[in-house]
Structure 1
Amino acid sequence: MVAIGIAMPVDAQQQGQPPAAVTVVTVQPQNVTLTSTLPGRVVSSAEAEVRPQVAGIITERLFTEGGYVEAGDVLFTIDPASYEASVAQARATVAIAQASFDAAAKEARRQEELLSRSVSSDQSYDAAMAERDGAEASLQLAEAQLKSAELELDRTQIRARLSGEIGRALTSRGALVTASQAEPLAVIRNIDPVYVDVTQSAAELLAWKRGNTANRLSKADLEVELTLADGSIFDQTGTLTAAEPDVDEQTGVVVLRMEFANPDKLLLPGMYVQVEMPTGIATDAFLVPQEAISRDRRGLPTAMVVNGDNVVEARTLEVARDYGANWIVTEGLESGDRIIVEGVQKTAPGATVAPEERAQSAASDAQQEQPVAD
């Protein structure tokens, strides 16, 4: 004889036993901002290489490596002796040219007076005027050469052209530098604010250009978050400032530039970061704790829901993606559904349970809104 077992209803199996205690979370539909996690690099908002504009020997370094410099600060000095001599020579040339011009101008005035009294000839007058004009041109040339010499003397003091953080000195006292050398003497970078250059697919950028995404996002949603290399979140939010008008033919991506305030100088150029870029809105979605959803034999996501009679129902869900410690559920739930998050092992579909709402702090943590990364 073969004994045939008859499956009894769950309630019948539990006759004489109190309903199992379970912890539930009540879910409500909400709009969730979706984001893409985009890799990027930090770029200084301004950068200037310190280069010599005249040749000579470095005599002094006047800044602290790694410190802050203001535009106009003297950073290096070059031995000025030869340039001071050039200035002195140019001043002497100006003095000679000035004397020649004064004499030629005096002679021109005298010839003009003699011509007015018909004492001098037109030829003598023209020669005097030509002499005066030539002397004036020579004076202007000498003055220009003096300005050039003074400019080169001033360039023996190498100044900062940008306010910002200066790196290490790439030359030392006693080194010979030239105006055409390839290596800079130092590099100044402005790192407050900084830019973050990231890459995004051309398809996602098209959605932005057409307004399918941007028009549905609030001003707060358009602010982007930054994840640092150690996994921590940067305490400043950024904004999209520019997009490269070119698509990489091999990868199909576009370079986007975001701007972030960097008051603590925590972000440094070249640093690898990740940006949470808003890409859209999931409307009327449910946030369900991940521990409440499992997979059935067909691999479909399911959850145990307590109905109004405190009876357990199995629901097949449609899950869009993860959301921190939650899943985004787009189908299979209704407003006010109570989902079992603890004690599901003690019950089954059709069983009567004693539901208890999860503590408010935990429930609010489960429902808090945060961007959803692709």
Structure 2
Amino acid sequence: MPGFKFLRITLALLIVASTLLSGCDKAAPVALAEQKTWVDVVIAARSSHAPTTVLTGRLEAYRTAEIRARVAGIVEKRTYIEGAEVKAGALLFLIDPAPLKASLAAAEAELAQAGATADAATDVAQRSKQLRDYDSISIQQYRKDLFLEKQLRAAEKLAAAKVRSARLQLDYASVTSPIAGRARRAMITEGAMVGQDEGTKLTTVEQIDPIYVNFSQPAAEFLALRKATVAQEKSHEPMPVNVRLSDGSLYDMPGQLLFSDTAVDPMTDTVAMRALFNNPDHLLLPGMYVQVEFEHPQAKAAVLIPQHALTRTRTGTFVMLEDNGHARQVAITADTLEGKQWRVTSGLSGGERVILDGGALSNGQAVQAKPITSNSNVADRQ
């Protein structure tokens, strides 16, 4: 009986050990499955249009005229409305003309006196010539009378020049605009003394239709842009340039791209450029900051990925792809943004399963993809 009891105990221990071993075999796959990392995946989408460059620019008037006093005097009247449109030649300020009229009258009197004196000298010279023909006077007296006439005629011309100068000064008392445009606020008021030592600035007139926007293009991108522009010009299709205002709205009239500088600034490694826009409603004002946007029609095709799918290190730029349950690192080239997505020009062809926030994963690591997310929806959440 003791042997039978020992046998029963032994069988019970064997059954328990077998059960435990069976349970460990079933738990092993579960433990292995838990080692996979869950990741968000998005499908890389091909770009459907050319890349867009966005640069910061500042508006500048097409033409600017500083209105200054060119004659000394007291400002008698301002004849324009500040901020209003004025035509070329329009009267803006009137400087007291009374002293200038008096100076003109004095110059005219001096001219009359010089003319009379010169006429008298001419008569003497003519008589001297007749007497000289009959040897009635000496050659020295004749030459003296002739030179006196020339001297007095020169004095007459000098007096005539003084008259023209006085008349010009009187004209300057009426300050006019040399260009058509918008007259800005007055820098002086009626009763102010102007033009004493230098030309006092009175106001500024700006032509703002059309209007310039100045911006700088990185030198590395300038050559490609210039080639694209030349190709557009040959096809007689101008490259559209747009500006986005400070409130985020897009100005409804495209502009014309200009190349205003042919040298690279060594301090900033940029090329100064400008674009010209029609501005009939004067919505664009000088000094405003805007975003300049234009496309590169000759650029090669690219793939778009969300910003947080890309990882940059000192060794390069890469993304992690989900490939048959494993993470695979792929080197890419992505230098520009298109909206909220990186524009990939090499390394991806479109359709790849890109892992979001994959920078912490290692190459070949086991991963489990969550339901695939739309690329556009991912970009909207950034």
TM-score by length of 2: 0.69
- The answer for the alignment partner of 1:247 in structure 2 is 265
Cα offset, 1:92, TM superposition: 0.6
Partner of 1:77: 94
- The whole-number CA distance in structure 2 between the counterparts of 1:29 and 1:95 is 84
Please point out which of 161, 178, 189 is paired with 2:206: 189
1:274 aligns with 2:330: no
Report SS of the residue matched to 2:300: strand
CA distance in structure 1 between the partners assigned to 2:70 and 2:173 by the alignment: 8
1:18 match: none
The one-letter amino acid paired with 1:193 is P
1:61, 1:38 → 2: CA distance? 41
> How many Å apart are 1:60 and its aligned residue?
0.6
* Native 8 Å contact 1:166 1:189 kept in 2: yes
Sequence identity (%): 34
In structure 2, the partner of 1:63 is 80
| Aligned-partner residue type, residue 271 of structure 2 | V
| 1:193-272 pair list within 5 angstroms | 193-208=210-225, 211=227, 213-215=228-230, 220=237, 222-238=239-255, 239-243=257-261, 245-249=263-267, 251-272=268-289
Indicate yes or no: 2:157 matched with 1:153: no
1:244 and 1:303 map into 2 onto residues whose CA distance is: 47
- Cα separation, partners in 2 of 1:244 and 1:198, compared to 1, 3 Å: farther
Residue equivalent to 2:197:
180
Per-residue deviation, 1:316: 9.9
Change in Cα spacing, 1:144 to 1:257, as seen in structure 2 (3 Å) is: same
CA distance in 2, matches of 1:100, 1:180: 36
Cα 1:198–1:62 shift into 2, 3 Å: same
Distance in 1, Cα, partners of 2:259 & 2:244: 19
Structure 1 position 178, deviation (Å): 1.6
Is the CA contact 1:315–1:332 (under 8 Å) kept in the aligned structure 2? no
1:243: Cα distance to partner?
A: 1.9
Q: Distance in 1 between matches of 2:262 and 2:93?
A: 37
Distance 1:303 1:48, change over 3 A: farther
* Residue correspondence of structure 1 range 1-374 to structure 2 within 5 A: 1-2=23-24, 3=26, 32-181=49-198, 184-208=201-225, 211=227, 213-215=228-230, 220=237, 222-238=239-255, 239-243=257-261, 245-249=263-267, 251-279=268-296, 281-285=298-302, 300=319, 320=334, 323-324=338-339
Q: Which amino acid in 1 is paired with 2:149?
A: R
Does the CA-based 8 Å contact 2:73-2:196 persist in structure 1? Answer: no
Structure 1 residues 171 and 244, CA gap change in structure 2 (3 angstroms) = farther
Note closer, same or farther for the CA distance 1:333–1:123 as it changes in structure 2 (3 Å cut). closer
Instruction: Give the secondary-structure state (helix, strand or coil) at the position aligned to 1:33.
Output: coil
Taking structure 1 as reference, are residues 244 and 177 closer, same or farther at Cα in structure 2, changes over 3 Å only? farther
User: Taking structure 1 as reference, are residues 33 and 183 closer, same or farther at Cα in structure 2, changes over 3 Å only?
Assistant: farther
Contact 1:240 1:258 in 2 (8 A): yes
Q: Which moved more, 1:213-222 or 1:233-242?
A: 213-222
Higher helix residue share: 2
Paired residue type of 2:258: L
C-alpha distance in 2, partners of 1:36/1:201? Answer: 11
Deviation at 1:35, TM superposition (A): 3.0
C-alpha separation between the residues in 1 aligned to 2:175 and 2:91? 6
Query: Whose Rg is larger?
Result: 2
Count residues with an aligned counterpart. Answer: 316
Partner AA of 1:272 in structure 2: Y
Separation of aligned partners in 2, 1:160 and 1:303 = 70
Contact in 2 for aligned 1:217/1:281 (Cα 8 Å): no
SS of the aligned residue for 1:266 comes to coil
Gaps of at least 5 residues in structure 2 are 1-22, 31-42, 311-317, 354-367, 377-382
Looking at structure 2, the residues matched to 205 and 327 of structure 1 have their Cα atoms a distance apart, in angstroms, of: 20
SS in 1 for 2:105: helix
Q: CA deviation at 1:281?
A: 3.6
> Which amino acid in the other structure matches residue 192 of structure 2?
A
Cα pair 2:219 2:264 within 8 Å, conserved: no
In the alignment, residue 64 of structure 1 is paired with which amino acid?
A: I
Q: How far did 1:206 drift?
A: 4.2
In structure 2, the CA distance between the partners of 1:189 and 1:110, relative to structure 1 (3 Å rule), is same
Contact 1:87 1:150 in 2 (8 A): yes
Change (3 A) 1:83 1:166: same
RMSD: 4.1
Aligned pair in 2 of structure 1 residues 46, 303: CA closer, same or farther (>3 Å)?
A: farther
> Helix, strand or coil for the counterpart of 1:258?
strand
Mapped partners of 1:146, 1:43: distance in 2: 41
TM-score under structure 1 length normalisation:
0.70
Find the residue that maps to 2:58 and give its secondary structure: strand
- 1:154/1:119 Cα in 2 relative to 1: closer, same or farther (>3 Å)? same
